[in-house]
Structure 1
Amino acid sequence: MSDDATARAVSALREHGPMTRAELARRTGLPKSTVSGVTAALVASGAVHETGTAEPLGARRAGPGRGRPGTLLALDAGRGEVVGVEFGASHVRARVLDAGHGRGPGAVRRLPLAFGAADALDATLDLVRELTTRPGAAPLLGVGLALALGLGPALTPPPTRPRGMRQGWEELDLPARLADTLGVPVTADNDANCAARAELLWGAARPYEDFVLLKLHAGVGGAVVIDRTVRAGRRGGAGEFGHVPVDPRGPLCRCGGRGCLEVYAGVPAVLGALTVHPGGQPTPHEVLEGAAAGDPACRRALRDAGEATGQVAAWLCNALNPQAIVLTGALSGAGELLAGPVRDSVSRTALPLNADVDVVVGALGRDAGPLGAAAQTLASVPA
């Protein structure tokens, strides 16, 4: 069996996770007979294991007449593992992913609000060393970073990054420093792209080939997935949906524009709308709790954010005709209280041809970013 065919099969399993022989043939473009021979040799060598039968991922992917589910194949977890790391406003979160796409342990480091690049470097090294020196850890293959930063030669904050978060980020090439120190490859991507990749592999987006992700957090970001591949755009700037205007005469946005989605649907916007709330402005957790308990002001603030999000989602549906809109970020914790208004707004605003899109809430919560970053790194490791 050719080395090229084997390498293509292993690379596909690293990128897409467990899959059947039929799906492996489709992903690699190899003949089914070649896939059969390659996988038989990989199973015999212990590099690949049969891990059970495939479960249906929904009618859109399965289609009619798909027959009996096939046996899933996965790379041996002992071949190695990667660590995915995401940087929040006041924390660094990490999660382990093994070569077979098994999700391992995680850890968090709390840092001062608006921490600098040197703090990020130290915290990341501490987390990686903690997670990779645990009993039973497989060899470290690489580290993935999920960042709300520009992704040039060095990680530079875009103009929309809060001023306090710029401490040393322009001067420190974080991936290069980590790679030099740890001796493994380090990749970096936008945090919303990472979340989309994770939801595609393990979460709410698994049934879909094409979807748009909207991350409603301190800022509003997004990602575009076409043919189960995250599309970053020419310079990595695809998915900046937080700066699509909802109202060109609306409030000033930190990007310099007016009426951007972020000023209506970011966490600060929702909290700002609740300054009249009894007891003063609540925390994000209190907003979600209040809305779940029926608090009318909290519910209205979330509904307003959802309706604005739906306006932009409708525009995206008309532009891209995706199968689904996936909602992640802190506000997605409201569940249907947020998704319902988004769905209604899309239904009213998008063309009928594009309005039958599914609107779903991400399933992975805070783990989406680090898991997606880890998956990107795992896919890039040579077979």
Structure 2
Amino acid sequence: MSEGPYRIGIDLGGTKTEGILLDPAGGVLFRKRRATPLAEGYEAVLASLAELVREAASACPCGSRYSVGIGIPGSVDAESGLVRNANSNCLIGHPLPADLERLLGRPVQVRNDADCFTLAECRQGAGQGYGLVFGVIMGTGCGGGICIDGVVREGPHRICGEWGHMSVDPHGAPCYCGSRGCVETKISGSGVERAFQARFGERLPMDRIVEGARAGEPRCEEVFETFLEDFGRSLGGIISILDPDAVVLGGGLSNIEELYGAGLDWVRRYVFHEALRTPILKNALGDSAGVFGAAWIGDQR
């Protein structure tokens, strides 16, 4: 068997929490999903996380070393140790890493879920074999992560890769972060839905907008084409800055096939190079990426 510790990963989501135990060779020994008790508040979420870690640890051979990594929809402030910018609002302002370490009596790594996604795809998914990978999550929100030679870059502010709050249109829609025209307001599902409502006075879910565009409905076609162009402008800018070896798309919107056709054409238009060679790849792990990435994050420093 390969050297190294067993790895426990927990993916904390808004509706479900998933736990996994990997053996040193990366094989799955334990996997479990449970509902996330957000409505019951922070203490309930904390207790649920600790219980899931203990269940996973009980599947380890007696006396084996193991690491613990937690992926959350937010980040931990490097100075205060408090959670910030979390979609799961009950986490905000709480010292989640310290509280978990107190309950479990061992070190715990807590990282942004986009970092976990990116690491998982680089270790086991579409990003394998590439040196510098930019991982993208496009869903209700929009996030990103950067993995270099198998290690996720976090940065001194722990926001490395967070392109969702890069302003690409100073006259655009207001974003909850306080800026206007952020990438998240342009190419997330919620951002496109709000753009449709602002333009036509009606709220349609993202999947209906996509279906309508494919069926030739003029309003949906207009908004969807803007979405594809904004995708190209945003990703083209990132590629011009990072010049990554590959980009891996994740999140629910990564299933929109037009991103890999017309969307890629818009990327080519906006990137600072006459012949784009960066592969834009669909994820290989689906919604499993987060929990696998959390397990690998656990023993990164």
Which secondary structure does the structure 2 equivalent of 1:175 belong to? helix
- Matched-pair contact (CA < 8 Å) for 2:6–2:60: no
Q: Counterpart in 1 of 2:36?
A: 111
Q: Counterpart in 2 of 1:128?
A: 53
Distance in 1 (alpha carbons) for counterparts of 2:262 and 2:30 = 35
Q: Counterpart in 1 of 2:192?
A: 270
Q: Counterpart in 2 of 1:88?
A: 13
Match of 1:188 among 110, 135, 144: 110
Report whether the alignment pairs 1:324 with 2:249.
Answer: no
Report whether the alignment pairs 1:141 with 2:66.
Answer: yes
Q: Counterpart in 1 of 2:90?
A: 167
Distance in 1 (alpha carbons) for counterparts of 2:208 and 2:18 = 23
- Matched-pair contact (CA < 8 Å) for 2:213–2:224: no
Match of 2:81 among 147, 154, 166: 154
Name the aligned partner's letter for residue 263 of structure 1: T
Report whether the alignment pairs 1:378 with 2:262.
Answer: no
Name the aligned partner's letter for residue 195 of structure 1: F
Name the aligned partner's letter for residue 378 of structure 1: D
Identity rate, percent = 29
Q: Counterpart in 2 of 1:281?
A: 204
For structure 2, the 5+ residue unaligned runs are: none
Distance in 2 (alpha carbons) for counterparts of 1:318 and 1:302 = 24
What does the per-residue CA deviation read over 1:339-374, in whole Å, with 9 as the maximum and x for residues that have no partner?
334311211111225722111111112121221111
Q: CA 1:228–1:83 in structure 2 vs 1: closer, same or farther (change >3 Å)?
A: closer
- Matched-pair contact (CA < 8 Å) for 1:117–1:174: no
| Greater shift in the superposed pair: 320-329 or 306-315 | 306-315
**Offset of 1:261 from its aligned partner?**
0.9
**Offset of 1:375 from its aligned partner?**
0.4
Q: Counterpart in 2 of 1:33?
A: none
**Offset of 1:263 from its aligned partner?**
0.7
Superposition map of 1:1-383 within 5 A = 49=1, 74-75=2-3, 81-111=6-36, 116-133=41-58, 139=64, 141-152=66-77, 153-158=80-85, 161=86, 165-167=88-90, 169-170=92-93, 172-272=94-194, 281-282=204-205, 286-287=207-208, 291=211, 294-296=214-216, 304-334=226-256, 336-352=257-273, 355-379=276-300
TM-score, length-normalised on structure 1? 0.67
- Matched-pair contact (CA < 8 Å) for 1:86–1:369: yes
- Matched-pair contact (CA < 8 Å) for 1:116–1:169: no
What does the per-residue CA deviation read over 1:285-305, in whole Å, with 9 as the maximum and x for residues that have no partner?
x559x6499545677755543
Q: CA 1:307–1:103 in structure 2 vs 1: closer, same or farther (change >3 Å)?
A: farther
**Offset of 1:311 from its aligned partner?**
1.0
**Offset of 1:86 from its aligned partner?**
1.9
**Offset of 1:378 from its aligned partner?**
3.5
Q: CA 1:185–1:354 in structure 2 vs 1: closer, same or farther (change >3 Å)?
A: farther
Which secondary structure does the structure 1 equivalent of 2:33 belong to? strand
Q: CA 1:116–1:317 in structure 2 vs 1: closer, same or farther (change >3 Å)?
A: same
**Offset of 1:221 from its aligned partner?**
1.0
For structure 1, the 5+ residue unaligned runs are: 1-48, 50-73
Which secondary structure does the structure 2 equivalent of 1:373 belong to? helix
Q: Counterpart in 2 of 1:22?
A: none
Distance in 2 (alpha carbons) for counterparts of 1:353 and 1:229 = 30
Distance in 1 (alpha carbons) for counterparts of 2:133 and 2:91 = 35
Task: Report the RMSD for the aligned CA atoms in angstroms.
Answer: 3.2
**Offset of 1:177 from its aligned partner?**
2.5
Which secondary structure does the structure 2 equivalent of 1:145 belong to? strand
Aligned residues: 295
Distance in 2 (alpha carbons) for counterparts of 1:300 and 1:104 = 48
Distance in 2 (alpha carbons) for counterparts of 1:134 and 1:372 = 19
Q: CA 1:187–1:299 in structure 2 vs 1: closer, same or farther (change >3 Å)?
A: farther
